[in-house]
Structure 1
Amino acid sequence: MKIAIISDIHGNLDALQVFFESQMIPGSFDELWVLGDQVNFGPQPREVLEILRDRADIAIQGNHDHAVGFDDDSRWTPAFRAMAEATRRHTSAELNDEQKRYLRELPLTVKVEREGTRFQLVHATPSDPHYGYLLADAEGWAAELDSVDADVLLVGHTHTPFIRQIGNKTVVNPGSIGQPRRGKPRPSYAVWQDGVFELRSYDYPIETTVAKLEKLGHPPEVEAELIRIVREG
C-alpha cells in the first residue's frame, strides 16, 4: 500500500494542481490523507476545498479550517493575526454555507490502521489539536506521545517537514503544500509505503500565485508578507 500525506494547502491551487499532475500520478497512490488547513492565506480556497473533498480519503480539521467554518478569529497569535484575519475574511466570502459546514464537520483527529500499522492523525498536537506548536523536539513530542495509542503520529501545522523516531513511535510532519516555510519555498509532502516514510518536495509556478495574491486587495502589509512567504519560504 502507498499513501500520500499532505498538509497546510492554504488555498494555494497552483501548488496543489502540480502535486496532482506531477507527483500524485493517477494510480500511483492507494490513498490520500490531508492533515488540515485546506483554506486561508492563499487566493483560491474554494477550488482547493472542492478538489480535496473529491480526492482525499481522509481529511482532518486544522485551525484555519475551524476559523473559517465558525467565523472565529479569537485564537490567532499576534505574529499572524493581521494576515490570518484578512485572509479569513476573503476565504469566508469565497465559500458558501455548505462548504463552511464541511469545514466545521471535519474531525479533530482520526485513528486508522493500514497493513498492521496504527496511525493517529491530528493537525497540531494531541493535547491541542488546533494550536499546539512543536517542531522536531524529541522531549516535547515524547510527552505528547504518552497519550497516543498508535505506532505513528501524523501532524502538520508548523509547515516544517520532519520524520522523528521517539521510542517505539514515529512522528511525521509532511510540511506544507501551499505555504512552505523555514527558508524553503518548495511544497513538501510525505509518502508511506511498505512501512517506510519518505519526504518529497517539488517546484510549482510561484509567480502565478503571487499575481493572484496581488489582485485580492489585502492591506499592503498583509499582501507583502503573504508574497514574501510564498517566494522565500
Structure 2
Amino acid sequence: MMKLVIISDIHGNHDALRALPEEYDELWVLGDLVNYGPQPKEVVAEVMAKASLVVQGNHDNAVAYDDDSRWSARYRPIAEATRRFTSSVLSDAQKAYLRGLPLQAQAERDGLLFHLTHATPSDPLYGRCATEAEGWAAELDALPADVLLVGHTHVPFLRRIGDKVVLNPGSLGQPRTGVPLASYAVWQDGRFALKSYRYPVEATVEKLRGLALPGHVESELVSILETGSV
C-alpha cells in the first residue's frame, strides 16, 4: 500500500513545510500555497518540485490574477498587504504555475477514488460548509468519488458520511486549532490519520517582522502564528 501525505494552507510558511516529519510516496496539496507568510517564493518552489497533485486555493488565485476583490472584510487588511508582498517576490514562472493549477482534481489510488478541491466542490475557492453531516452530505451527493479532500478553513476534521469520507488536513502554515502546531493528514493501508507537529515558529515570526508590513497587519499575523488562533 502506498502512503499519501495531504497538506493544505501552507500560506508562505516555509519553516513549517521544511519541518514536515513524514516520508511519503506522494504529496498532495489542497491549495493556498501563498500569502500571510514570509516565504511564498520558497514554498511555491518546493511544492513545484515535490508535490504530485496540487489544486488552486483562493489566495493562489488572487496572486495569479492580482485580484483583491473577493477578500472578506475580516481578512482584507492582512490579505491585501501580503498579496502585494507575494506578488512582488514570485517569479513570472511561479505566478504562471499558480494560474495553471486546477480548481478540482481526481485521482484513484489502491481502488479508492479521491476528489481534491480547496473549499467545496460547489464553490472551489470560497465555499464553506459547516462540519455537520447535512452540509457535507449535499456536497457529496452527486460527487463521483469515495473521498473528498478539502482545506480552506484551517481546521482539521475527518468525517464518514454514508459511504463516503470527508477530510480536511487543517493548515500546515497557519493553524487555527488554538495551538501553534502544523497540521496535516496521512493515508496509508486504507486508513486516514490527522497529525500535527512543532516547527520553529519563532523563526517564521522573525522573518515576518522583517517584511516591513503595516504594524497592525504584522501584529495580527504574528499573533495567529504564535497562538494558532485568530
TM-score, structure 1 as length reference: 0.96
Question: Helix, strand or coil for the counterpart of 2:172?
Answer: coil
Partner Cα separation in structure 2 for residue 135 and residue 56 of structure 1: 28
8 Å CA contact 1:188–1:200 kept in 2: the answer is yes
**Residue aligning to 1:123:** 118
Question: Match of 1:59?
Answer: 54
CA shift at 1:139, angstroms? 1.2
Q: CA RMSD in A?
A: 0.8
Other-structure match for 1:211: 206
| The one of 178, 196, 199 aligned to 1:201 | 196
Deviation at 1:147, TM superposition (A): 2.5
Structure 2 counterpart of 1:186, from 177, 181, 190: 181
Which amino acid is the alignment partner of residue 179 of structure 1?
Q
Supply the AA of the counterpart residue of 2:192: F
Shift of 1:172: 0.2
Specify every segment of 5 or more residues in structure 1 that has no aligned partner in the other structure, as ranges. Answer: none
Residue 109 in structure 1 maps to residue 104 in structure 2 = yes
Residue 230 of structure 1: aligned partner: 225
The answer to whether the aligner puts 1:92 opposite 2:87 as a matched pair is yes
Any gaps of 5 or more consecutive residues in structure 2?
none
Q: Deviations over 1:164-192 (max 9, x none)?
A: 00111100000011000131210010000
Counterpart residue number, 1:10: 11
Q: Deviations over 1:77-116 (max 9, x none)?
A: 1100010000000000001211101000000000110010
The match for 1:76 is 71
Alpha-carbon offset, residue 135 of structure 1: 4.3
What are the Cα deviations for residues 142-180 of structure 1, in whole angstroms up to 9, with x where unaligned? 111112110000000000001000111100000011000
Question: Of 27, 42, 48, which aligns to 1:47?
Answer: 42
For the Cα contact (< 8 Å) 1:152–1:171, is it kept in 2? yes
* CA distance in structure 1 between the partners assigned to 2:202 and 2:56 by the alignment: 29
State the secondary structure of the residue aligned to 1:175. coil
Q: Any idea what the Cα deviations from partners look like across 1:119-152, whole Å, max 9, x if unmatched?
A: 0000000010000112422111011111211000
Give the 5 Å matches for 1:116-195: 116-195=111-190
What is the aligned residue count? 227
Q: Is the 8 A contact 1:135 1:158 kept in 2?
A: no
Q: Distance in 2 between matches of 1:140 and 1:222?
A: 33
- Give the fraction of aligned pairs with identical amino acids, expressed as a percent: 61
